[in-house]
């Protein structure tokens, strides 16, 4: 393998670390911009103890700090956008990493 190939594998291992579950969970994303609080609703495609892949009708810059609320149980956690995919009919694909979430954030065991 070349160094470039090794780097690609290591990057994917970091992004895809941990158990993942295909699960559609309704979420709310909150952020502050220009002195105002903004809120949009979305849903997850998959979840893990460390984050999720969500579909949200708002694009953000990678690295942006957000607040994520699990609408099924009310749990909240800070999150950081670590990946932004394509914009589809229902919104943007967002890879969100949770920052110190409660152990039961998603309400499921991994």
Within-domain flag for 7 = no
Q: What's residue 17's pLDDT?
A: 58
In a domain, 104, yes or no: no
CB atoms within 10 A of CB 84: 16
pLDDT value for 109: 84
- Give the C-alpha separation, 58 to 79, whole Å: 15
CATH code (residue 80): 2.40.10.220
**pLDDT interval class at 7 (50, 70, 90):** very low
Q: pLDDT value at position 12?
A: 41
Residue found by looking up tokens 């990678």 in the block? 62
Q: Are 52 and 46 in contact (CB under 8 A)?
A: yes
Tens digits of per-residue pLDDT, 12-59?
444 555 688 899 999 999 999 999 999 999 999 999 999 999 999 999
Residue 34 is assigned to a structural domain of this protein: yes
Number of compact structural domains in the chain: 1
Is there a contact between 77 and 102 (Cβ–Cβ < 8 Å)?
Answer: yes
DSSP secondary structure, 73-93, as one string: T--EEEEEEEEEEEEETTEEE
The reply to whether the predicted model has a pTM over 0.75 is: yes
- Cα distances (Å, whole numbers) of residue 100 to 7, 32, 67, 76, 89: 27, 20, 12, 10, 31
Judge whether 83 lies within some domain.
yes
Alpha helices in the chain (DSSP H): 3-15
């Amino acid at each position: 393998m070349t160094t470039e190939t090794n780097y690609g594998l290591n990057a994917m291992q970091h992004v895809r670390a941990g158990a993942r579950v295909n699960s559609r969970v309704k979420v709310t994303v909150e952020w502050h911009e220009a002195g105002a609080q903004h809120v949009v609703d979305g849903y997850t495609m998959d979840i893990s103890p460390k984050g999720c892949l969500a579909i949200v009708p708002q694009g953000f810059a990678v690295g942006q700090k957000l607040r994520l609320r699990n609408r099924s149980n009310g749990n909240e956690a800070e999150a950081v956008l670590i990946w932004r995919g394509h914009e589809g009919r229902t919104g943007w694909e967002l890879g969100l990493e949770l920052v110190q979430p409660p152990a039961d954030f998603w309400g499921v065991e991994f």
